Chain A
Amino acid sequence: MEPIIEVKNLTKKFNGFTAVDNISFEIKEGEILGLLGPNGAGKTTTIDILLGLTKQTSGEVRIFDLPFEKNREKILKQMNFSAAYVNLPWRLKVFENLYTFARLYEVDDYKKKVDQLLEEFKIFHLKNKMTNDLSSGQLTSLYLCKAFINNPRLLLLDEPTVFLDPDVADLTKRFILKKVKEEKTTVLFTSHNMAEITELCNRVIFLSHGKIIAEDTPVGLAQKIKTCKVRLLFSVSQEKVDSLLTNYGYQYSLEGNEIVIELEENKIGQILGRLSLAKLKYSQITIEKPTLEDFFLKVTRGKI
C-alpha cells in the first residue's frame, strides 16, 4: 500500500530554535496516526508544514505520492484540517461559513453536503445563527463540519475534541472511525486526551523537543513502561504500612486514603505476601496496568 504521507528528514528552525528536528515518518491509507508530545514538542509545526502554511528548513514532504511544494493545489484539494486554535469568521452565519469553504474546495452540490454534515454533527438547528453566538462546543462541531466538507482523503486534526462535551466528543470519534472504515480516510491526529488516542489511533509517534523519540501502537508504547501501580486501602495504622514499605525499599505515594505502590508486575505477588506476613490487612486493592498516559508522563518528566 502506497503511503499517503511521506516525511523524510524534516527540519524546521525559527531563528536558531529547532522546532522540528530531522524527523521521518509515513502514514498509510486508512491509518489513524496519533502525534503525541508535550507542548512545544513540534506537533503543530509539523501539521503546519504538512498544510503548506509553514515552509520547512530542510527535508522532503510527499503527500499522495507527490512532492508537496510543486503540487500544493492538487494535494490541498484532497486534504482538510481542524484545530482548536483556529477560528472561522465570527460575523458570518454558520451556513455562510460552510458554503464559503465548500466553494474554496470546489465541492459539487455543496448545499446538500452542508445540511448533511450539520445533521450528522447535531448542529442543524444552528444553520442560520451567527458564528459569534455559538458556544465553544458548538464552534468545535462547526470546525469539524468544515473539516469534512470536501470528503478529504487526508485529514489533519489538531486537538479537535478539546472543547467538546463527552457526548459530542464521542459522536466525533465515531464519525472519524466511520469515515476511515467506509472511505479509507487517512487521519493525523493530535490530542492531549490519551484515552482518545488509545481508542482511535492505529499507531502513535511521540515527539519531544522536535524529535521522534518513540513510535509504536498505543498499547506498545504503554508496554514500554515496566512498572504497574498497586492501589491499596488499609484499615490498619498507616505508620506500620509506611515502615514496611520503606524497609523493603518500595516506591510509593499517598493519594487520598490510598497508598499507591509502583513496582514491576512480577513483584505484585511478593508484596502481597509480605503484607500478609506482617498482618497488614487491606480492605481494597486495585492493580493498574501502565497506560499511554503513564508513558506520556514518564517521557515528559524525563524518567524514560
Chain B
Amino acid sequence: MSFKRIYAIIIRHLYIWPRSLERWQGSLGWPLLGLISWGMTMSFFQKNSSFGFSIVAFLLGGVIFWEFTSISQREISVNFLDEAWNKNLINIFSTPTTAGEFLLASVILGLIKLTVTMFIMLSGAVIFYKFNIFSLYSLYLPFLIANLLMFGLSFGFIINGLIIRFGYGAQELAWALLAWVSPFSCIYYPLSSIPSWAQKIGLMLPSTYIFEEMRRVIMTGSMNLSNLFVSFSLNIIYLILALLFFRWMFENAREHGRLVKLN
C-alpha cells in the first residue's frame, strides 16, 4: 500500500468537489432536503396525534442514520463511475496503483465527504427540530455509526464489482441497489411491523439491528448489546465477502478487457 498513491486519488476528487454542483447536491442537497421534508411532515403528525414518544426523533433518526450507509456506499460507487466516465480507469490502473489502494482512497474520500454532510445535517436537525443525536445516543453513537458505515462500504464494493464486470449497464445500481434493501432495513418502522417473509430478509441485514436499537434507545433509553454484536458480526462477514467479490470481478474484468472498454 502506498499512501502517496492513496493521497493522489483522494486529492484528485477533492480538486473537483468544490466546483461540482451535482456533487454538492449529492453530498448536501439531497440529504438536507430529506431532513427538511421528513422533519416537517413528522412535526405535523406529532402535533395532530397522541403518540407517547417523539415521532420526529423516530423518523429523523432513521433519515440521518440511513445517510451514513447510503453516502458511504454512494461515494465509493460514484467516484469509481467518475473515473469510468472520464475514461481514466486505464490511466489509473496502468500506474502502480492497486485496486486495494483505489478502494481505500474511495473509502477515505467517502468519510471526508460524509463528515461535511453530517455536520450540516446534524446542525440542521438541532436547529430546526431540536433533535440532537449526540445527547440522545451518546456513547452508543460510534458503534451505531460504525456498523452502518461498514454496511454501506460492503454495498459499495459489491456495486463497483458489478459495474467493472458488467459495464455501464450496471451503473444505475450505484443509486438503486441500496434503495431496494432499505425497506427490509426497517429504517422508519419496527421489524415486527413487516410481514414475516420480509422479517427473515431483515434479520440478515446488519442495518436492521441498528435501526431496532436506535428506536429502543428512544423508547427505553437503553440498548441491547447482543444486537450490536450480531450486526457487527454480519458486517464483518459481508465486508470480507464484498471485498472478495470485488477482487474476483476485477480479475474477471481484466480477463474480459473491461478495464479498457467499460461498456
**Taking beta carbons and an 8 Å cutoff, which residues of A are in contact with B?**
14, 44-45, 48, 51-55, 72-74, 76-77, 79-81, 83, 85-93, 96, 99-101, 103-106, 146
Chain B, 1-27, contact with A by CB distance < 8 Å: what is the 0/1 string? 010110111011001100110000000
Q: Which residues of B contact A103 (CB under 8 A)?
A: 4-5, 7-8, 11
Contacts beyond the supplied A100-B11, A103-B8: 20 A-B pairs with Cβ under 8 Å: A14-B256, A48-B259, A51-B94, A53-B90, A55-B251, A73-B98, A76-B94, A77-B96, A79-B94, A86-B87, A89-B83, A90-B86, A92-B12, A92-B16, A93-B15, A101-B95, A103-B4, A104-B8, A104-B9, A104-B92
**B43 lies within 8 A of chain A by Cβ:** no
List 16 A-B pairs, Cβ < 8 Å: A48-B259, A51-B90, A52-B254, A54-B257, A55-B255, A73-B98, A76-B95, A77-B95, A80-B94, A87-B87, A89-B83, A91-B19, A100-B12, A104-B8, A104-B92, A146-B91
Rounded to whole angstroms, the CA-CA distance of A302 and B82 in the bound complex is 43
Q: Which residues of B contact A14 (CB under 8 A)?
A: 256-257
**B199 lies within 8 A of chain A by Cβ:** no
Q: Which residues of A contact B86 (CB under 8 A)?
A: 87-91
Q: Which residues of A contact B256 (CB under 8 A)?
A: 14
B90 nearest in chain A by CB position:
A86
B4 nearest in chain A by CB position:
A106
A96 touches B96 (CB 8 A): no
Rounded to whole angstroms, the CA-CA distance of A92 and B13 in the bound complex is 9
Rounded to whole angstroms, the CA-CA distance of A121 and B74 in the bound complex is 39
A77 nearest in chain B by CB position:
B96
A13 nearest in chain B by CB position:
B255
A53 touches B97 (CB 8 A): no
Residue from B83, B92, B251, B257 having most chain A Cβ neighbours under 10 A: B257
Beyond A53-B93, A53-B259, A104-B5, is A89–B254 a contact (Cβ under 8 Å)? no
Choose one: A48, A80, A93, A146; the contact of B257 (CB below 8 Å): A48
Q: Which residues of B contact A51 (CB under 8 A)?
A: 90, 93-94
A105 touches B96 (CB 8 A): yes
**B182 lies within 8 A of chain A by Cβ:** no
Q: Which residues of A contact B12 (CB under 8 A)?
A: 89, 92, 96, 100
B259 touches A104 (CB 8 A): no
A76 touches B96 (CB 8 A): yes
Choose one: A45, A53, A90, A91; the contact of B94 (CB below 8 Å): A53
Rounded to whole angstroms, the CA-CA distance of A152 and B209 in the bound complex is 52
**B88 lies within 8 A of chain A by Cβ:** yes
A102 nearest in chain B by CB position:
B8
A104 touches B97 (CB 8 A): yes
B20 touches A106 (CB 8 A): no
A89 touches B16 (CB 8 A): yes
B254 touches A55 (CB 8 A): yes
Q: Which residues of B contact A89 (CB under 8 A)?
A: 12, 16, 82-83, 86, 88
Beyond A55-B254, A86-B87, A88-B86, is A81–B11 a contact (Cβ under 8 Å)? no
Q: Which residues of A contact B255 (CB under 8 A)?
A: 54-55
B209: min CB distance to chain A, Å: 39
A104 touches B95 (CB 8 A): yes
Choose one: B19, B87, B95; the contact of A105 (CB below 8 Å): B95
